[in-house]
Amino acid sequence: MKMAKKFLAVALAGVLALSVLTGCGASVKSKDIADALTKMGVKVEQDKDMDKTAENTLKAIETIIAADSANKITLDNAVEKVTGKVISQEHIDGNTDAANAVQKALGVFTTGEGAEKANVGKQIRVALVKTENATKNANLQAGIVNGALFEAQAATVNDMNHEVAETGKLGTAKTSDGKYILVVIVNDVVETSNT
């Protein structure tokens, strides 16, 4: 009887240790955020190409921040709806993005080639938020993102035969310290479903 209790205690301790260690390495992925945002009414699906777009855009923003001394650009004020120093509502600041690196990374550089202009005319929504207190909770991160999400570029729909796609493609990128996340959502312009 005593041996059975000791064995059960050791087995339970092992299970507890495994469950604790399993939780340590888990981090939120793009798909987790996409699923959580969709539950909140923002219809998106994770897209690997958008992950690359988000990563390249974040690198371009971090490069601008590193080179800036006059405008005091930080991750906290670079991307904001009204006062964003790099990206704001329907605007990428040409002064801070003088090399057009952010436009090229987002795929909205109209005179670019290939991927540099892949998203011209599409709806683009972005959010750059601090998530250091929610690193392992997709719902909390999605809630923070949803509150900060804004339209960086409006879609171009020139006729009654086209509309903005209901579901967007989502990509995310995290800063190297894991404290911030950039979310990029691109909605294509598609033919209307009305006949």
pLDDT given at position 19: 41
- Report pTM: 0.82
Cβ atoms 130, 140 nearer than 8 A: no
pLDDT given at position 10: 52
Cβ atoms 194, 130 nearer than 8 A: no
Give rounded-to-5 percent helix, strand, coil for the chain.
40, 20, 40
- Average pLDDT on 41-67 reads 96
Comparing 139 with 22, the larger pLDDT belongs to 139
- Window from 24-33, 77-86, 90-99, 150-159 with minimum mean pLDDT: 24-33
Task: Assess whether pLDDT exceeds 80 at residue 137.
Answer: yes
Spell out the residues 6+ positions from residue 132 whose beta carbon is closer than 8 angstroms to its own: 178, 179, 180
pLDDT given at position 26: 57
Per domain, the residue ranges of the chain are 28-191
Let me know how long the chain is. Answer: 195
